[in-house]
Amino acid sequence: MRKKFSLRALTVLLATAAAVMAGAGAAFAHVTVSSPNAAKGGYATVAVKVPTESDTASTVGIKLQLPTDAPFKSVTIQPKAGWTYSVDKSGDTVSAITWTATGDGIKPGEFDTFNISVGPLPTDKDSVTFKAIQTYSDGTTVNWVEEASGSTEPEHPAPALTLSSAPATSAHGASASSAPATSASADSVDGLGVTGVILGGVGLLAGVAALVLVLTSRKRTAER
């Protein structure tokens, strides 16, 4: 009876460890948007993080569709070496931005970021949702357009930007959240989360190893 329970516990631990490590890999897979200074009613520099999921093809294009329910009056784009960009407009507002690689693009196992400045952000929403279409060098596309429903994350979630409460204003009347953000800031937030997941997985694997040693020791003792 004791052996059955131990083997069952070992199986559960192995399955849990595998799930955690798989989750760590999946954390890199989504196109995301982030900003350390996105506040309701303010302006923010938004980093669009684009990882390449394919093992054989590079990312050569990314189309970012801006929110249509709360369009931005101001949209500016930071130029990026190795890429050109074009904009689509709906009336006087920018509705989409398309970046196209002029070289190799984003190779398998790599990611890159694209920075834009937008505003003013809506005052009556806790988040704004973008949609992205990722194009690979082999002609395939991935549509990051699915919005979450309930607690289950869709397979291809649309990038969403969380907004903090309304920002304070400076002496010149400018929003305090309008200071430029760097892509490194956005990456550090993602990196901390992924690092935590990986460390958790390592801890589980260490527990599994310890359990295996205990079971092996008991078996040798019983055989003597």
Q: Give the Cα separation of 212 and 218 in Å (integer).
A: 10
pTM of the model: 0.65
Q: What does the pLDDT average to over 161-181?
A: 55
Q: Kindly report, residue by residue over 101-116, the tens digit of the pLDDT.
A: 999 999 999 999 999 9
Q: Phi and psi at residue 149, in whole multiples of 5°? A: -130, 110
Answer whether residue 1 is part of any domain.
Answer: no
Answer whether residue 38 is part of any domain.
Answer: yes
HSE (CB half, 13 Å, CA atoms) of 111? Answer: 19
Answer whether residue 115 is part of any domain.
Answer: yes
Residue 189 clears pLDDT 50, i.e. is over it? no
Q: Kindly report, residue by residue over 1-56, the tens digit of the pLDDT.
A: 444 445 555 444 444 444 444 444 444 479 999 999 999 999 999 999 999 999 99
Answer whether residue 210 is part of any domain.
Answer: no
Q: Kindly report, residue by residue over 140-157, the tens digit of the pLDDT.
A: 999 999 987 777 778 999
Answer whether residue 193 is part of any domain.
Answer: no
pLDDT score recorded for residue 184: 38
Using only C-alpha atoms, what is the Rg of the chain?
Answer: 23
**Contact indicator for 49, 133 with CB cutoff of 8 Å:** no
HSE (CB half, 13 Å, CA atoms) of 12? Answer: 6
Print the domain residue range for 57. Answer: 31-179
Q: What does the pLDDT average to over 77-86?
A: 98
Strand partners, 175: 169
Q: How many CB atoms lie within 10 A of CB 117?
A: 18
The enclosing domain of 48 has a CATH number of 2.60.40.2230
Answer whether residue 203 is part of any domain.
Answer: no
Domain count for the chain, please give it. 1
Q: Please state, for a pLDDT cut of 70, what percent of the chain lies above it.
A: 61
Answer whether residue 220 is part of any domain.
Answer: no
Answer whether residue 35 is part of any domain.
Answer: yes
